[in-house]
Structures are given as C-alpha cells and as structure tokens.
Structure 1
Amino acid sequence: MHEASITQPITSNALVRPPQSYGRRALKRFLKRRLAVIGLVFLVLMAAVVLLGPMLSHYAFDEQDFEIIGEPGAITGAHWLGTDELGRDALTRLMYGGRISLCVGLAGAVLSTIVGTLVGAASGFYRGWTDTILMRFTDVMMSIPTLPMILLLSGMFRPEPWLLVVIVGVLIWMGTARLVRSQFLSLREREFVEAARALGAGNLRLMFRHILPNAVGPITVAATLAVGSAIMLESALSFLGFGIQPPVPTWGNMLNSASSWITVAPWLAFPPGLCILVTVLSVNFLGDGLRDALEPRD
C-alpha cells in the first residue's frame, strides 16, 4: 500500500517581504558608501567643535597676551596650537573662524539653491519665451568668471558676513537652475501632473505641490555640493584680503596671516588649511553619496 505524499502549498506571504519605503532603500544605499559616511561623521563633529568649542575655551578669539606679543608663540599646554604674532590663542580663533566659514558657506549654498530652484522651475514649467529668456540669462551668468566678479563686488562693498552670503549665493546658482529645469521638463508631462491639472490645480500648485517634491533628490545633491563651493569661495576671498576682515577670524584670513610666518611657525598655517581641505572633501564625498543614494543607476 503506497502512502500518498501530501505537499502543503507555500503561501506567498511566507516568501514575499513587504516592499521597503524609498527612504529606507536610499538610507541603505547611502550607508554602503564608506567615504560618504565618513564625510558626514566628520562634518557633524566639525559642526559640534566650532559651535561648542569657543564657549568651552578659556580665551576669547581677540584676547591678547601682551607678554608674548610680537611673534608667534610655540605650542604649549596652555595654547595647544600656539599663539599668533598678536598673542591670541590659535585654537580658539580656529574654532571661531570655522563657525564663520561654515555659516557663510552653508547660508550661501542655501541662497544659491533657492535662486536656482526658482529660476529652473519657472524655466522648465512655462517653457517658451520664459525658458528662452531665463536660460540665456543663466548662460550669461555662467560665462562670467566667478572669483574675479566676487573680488570686484567685495572690493566695492564692505565685506560683512551677510554681504558675502548674498554675493556668493547669487553667483553660484546656475548649475542648480539647469538641473531643476531638466527635472521640470521631464516631470511636467507625467500622468500625475496631468491628473492634477484636470482637477483644476493652478500653475503654482502644480509647480510647488506636485512637481517640486519629486525633484527634491537632485536638488538636495546640488545644494550639498554648493556648500563646498561656497566655503572655498569664502576662504579664497578672506585669504586674498577681500573677505571677512581681522580681528574677526575665518579660516581664510587666518591662513593669510600665517603665511608670513610659514618658515618660523608652520603650526599656525597647517590647521586652517587642513580644515578647509578636509571640510570641502567631506562635503563633496557626502554629495556623491547622496547622489548615488537618491538617484540609483541600477
């Protein structure tokens, strides 16, 4: 007598896992980019140091020790990075200067992202003569050398931090505008936009409620990369003497002051230069990681 083999059907619920959300999948892709994670960790630590460091320091950024004034002081237990030629603690000035440089870079990038998003959204959505005028204006702005123009504007006006933010922001928005324009040209013909238009949605609602949220990923990547460009521009201006003026420290003007003593006190030049280099590299690594996470190619 043969025993009948009984096979139980395997339900699909036991094998098929529920689909992951877009955010969870993007996070998993981002965490696989080691350099991007390292860059993010460094930027978080740098932000904590420049925000909390000056409050925990025993010195003010412009406090002078008149007993050692005249030439840079060596590294000691009281001054971990030595002192400059005016007897000011170099570590305190480095942390405070990082606060200025990072704030100017971040605010300039935010402003450039806003301007570029508005120009690109209007150009890609309305098309026609609006697109022609805005894109020709963008081409003209891209043809102007950025650094010489910023030097000219900084030389004409007093280089306050807020003015540097405005100058940097209005001169680096063109790449974001082109990116947003391409996204709007692609998304405006999609079915969900046509459905919203059929339901009576106006142009502004279509642009900022339906299309813009679907372009947040590329805009976020562009904004991240703009931070590095803004930090480099601010540091270059301060190094050349057209940015924030002493006694207020930034990494750029600290590097400028230390260049006169590079052979005598190299410990004054290396920290601000290294901070600029590593911060910009970390921002670029973070931007690359976000691009791979938010815009997967596979």
Structure 2
Amino acid sequence: MSSMTHMATPLPAARHSWSWGLPVLMAVLLLGLLSVWLGQNPAHQNLSNTLTAPGPAHWLGTDHLGRDLMARLGEAIRVSLWLALGSAFLAVTLGTLLGLCAAWRRGLTDRLLCLCADGVAAIPGLLWVLLVAALAPGQKWALYSGLVLTAWVEFFRLVRSQALATLAGDGVQAGRLLGFGAPYLLRWYVLPPMVGDLLRLWSYAIANAVLAVAALGFVGVGLRPPTAELGLMMTEALPYYDAAPWLLAAPVVVLVLVVSALQSATRQALKDSV
C-alpha cells in the first residue's frame, strides 16, 4: 500500500514547438544564394532560346528574352529580401528611437511625435510607398524611404506605450533617485521587456515590405529592368501566361511561400511566448 502511495507520478511531456515557416524561408534563401553558382547570368539574353520549358539546361526554363529563369528568380529573391530586411531594420530603429524620445520627454515632444505618427497612419501605407517611389522610379533609396516611412509608426506606438508604463514603475523611479541617467535606465529597464515584441513586429514588417516591393514592381513604379524583382517578373510574364505558365508560376509561388513562412514563424513565436 505504501509503495503505491509513493509511486512516482509521470513528468509532463516537454513542449516541442515546430513551425514550417522557418525551414521554408531558409530553403527560399538558399535558392537565392545557390542560384548565383547554379544558374546563369540573370541579364544574359538569348533570343534563339526563348520560352524554353524547364529542363536539364534550364531548370526553371527561360523567359521571353531567353534569360535563365532560375538565375532571375534567385536575383529577385535576393533583391526583394534585402530591400525588405533593410527597410524593416531602419523602421524598427527609427520607430524605437522616436518612441523612447516621446516617452522620456513627454509634453510637447510627445504630442508632436504622436501627431506626426497619426498623420502618416491616416494615409494607406502602399500609397505612401507609391508617392515616394514615384519621385525617383527605379531607385532603391526611394523604395527604402517609402517603406521606412510607412513602417516606423507601428514600432513607435509599441515602444511609446510600453516605455510609458515602464518609466512609471518603481524600478525606474528608484534609478532616477539614485542619479542614473537616461541611457542607463532605457538600456537596462525599458528596452529589455519589449525586445520580443519588437522582433515579432519586425518579422511582420518584413512580410509587408516584400509584398509592397512586389506590388510596386507589378505596377511599374518599383525597380526597372533588367533588374530581376518578383513583382516585375510577374508583369513581364503576364503576356505569356498561356504559352509559358511557368514564367508566372515561379515568382508567384516564391512570393506566397516567403510571406506565408514569415507569418507562420511569427505566429509560432507568439504561441511559444504565451
């Protein structure tokens, strides 16, 4: 009887979280990198070999100018993701700095920054990107500027709201009484609790930037030929979707996979943090 009462209870099973988003995203990135060696020159034209179906010579076929589709798809992945990663990084940096400034200074500075953020958010984000990119069509700095202009607001609002709550806490008040300055308090008290939320919001900003870059290329305001970009590749493939459906299928599938993978990885991170 005593042995039964002292029987060890089974330990709870370890929680294993898995998301298909990260492996798929890594596979797409690997395709973008390996295409530099496996594919051909993405700008090389061969008019005697146009609209070739996928085969050993061209793994994903060729386009209407005889360019290797795998090489162009790899370049499009690299260009789109670098634009998205760079703009999202600049947006999180700008939004975090302005959010901390508004929460720390309060008063007129806070009101002006909030008014600026509300003004930017009042206009749809894609329209902002279109307006800025139209000033210098085909220039990467214009795309960066438009994407950052639309993305910093979300980071600003998140950082400001959390920083206001943290700055009102006992720890920060005690640090101020002890004579610690703003850099120390912001570094050790305010920023650490919001790092996880900033990373998750950053991944959503990357997905939105990928879609925005593709949309700009699709309407002809983004990057210009012969640069390969997912939206631009879709526009070039539309007249040939019946004779060569692989031209349109390749960039569409990659775009869907990248955005879905980013969102899946972010949702899994949110579940694990609960």
1:5-44 matches, within 5 Å, as 31-32=16-17, 34=18, 37-44=19-26
Q: Which amino acid aligns with 1:120?
A: G
Q: Determine the structure 2 residue equivalent to 1:68.
A: 49
Candidates 105, 114, 130, aligned match of 1:151: 130
- 1:66: Cα distance to partner? 3.2
Q: For 2:240 and 2:131, how far apart are their aligned partners in 1?
A: 28
Q: Determine the structure 2 residue equivalent to 1:176.
A: 155
Q: Is the 8 A contact 1:50 1:99 kept in 2?
A: yes
Q: Is the 8 A contact 1:124 1:131 kept in 2?
A: yes
- 1:218: Cα distance to partner? 0.9
SS at match of 2:156: helix
1:1-298 matches, within 5 Å, as 31-32=16-17, 34=18, 37-57=19-39, 59-69=40-50, 72-294=51-273, 296=274
SS at match of 2:89: helix
Q: Is the 8 A contact 2:28 2:254 kept in 1?
A: no
- 1:128: Cα distance to partner? 2.3
SS at match of 1:170: helix
Q: Are the structure 2 counterparts of residues 292 and 128 from structure 1 closer, same or farther at C-alpha, using a change threshold of 3 Å?
A: farther
TM-score by length of 2: 0.90
Q: Which amino acid aligns with 2:146?
A: I
Moved more, 111-120 or 194-203: 194-203
- 1:217: Cα distance to partner? 1.1
Q: 1:68-109: per-residue Cα shift (whole Å, max 9, x none)?
A: 24xx22222211221111100111111111110111111111
SS at match of 1:67: helix
Q: Is the 8 A contact 2:88 2:206 kept in 1?
A: yes
Q: For 1:114 and 1:264, how far apart are their aligned partners in 2?
A: 46
Identity of paired residues, percent?
31
Q: Which amino acid aligns with 1:92?
A: A
- 1:184: Cα distance to partner? 0.4
Q: For 1:74 and 1:45, how far apart are their aligned partners in 2?
A: 23
- 1:64: Cα distance to partner? 1.8
Q: Which amino acid aligns with 2:228?
A: P
Number of residue pairs matched by the alignment: 267
Q: Is the 8 A contact 2:137 2:223 kept in 1?
A: no
Structure 1 unaligned spans of 5+: 1-9, 18-27
Q: 1:154-178: per-residue Cα shift (whole Å, max 9, x none)?
A: 1211422243122211221111111
Q: For 2:108 and 2:57, how far apart are their aligned partners in 1?
A: 65
Segments ≥4 residues shifted beyond 4 Å = none
Moved more, 139-148 or 47-56: 47-56
TM-score by length of 1: 0.83
Q: Is the 8 A contact 2:128 2:149 kept in 1?
A: no
CA RMSD of aligned residues (A): 2.3
- 1:199: Cα distance to partner? 2.0
Q: Are the structure 2 counterparts of residues 48 and 162 from structure 1 closer, same or farther at C-alpha, using a change threshold of 3 Å?
A: farther
Q: Is the 8 A contact 2:59 2:70 kept in 1?
A: yes
Q: For 1:52 and 1:191, how far apart are their aligned partners in 2?
A: 53
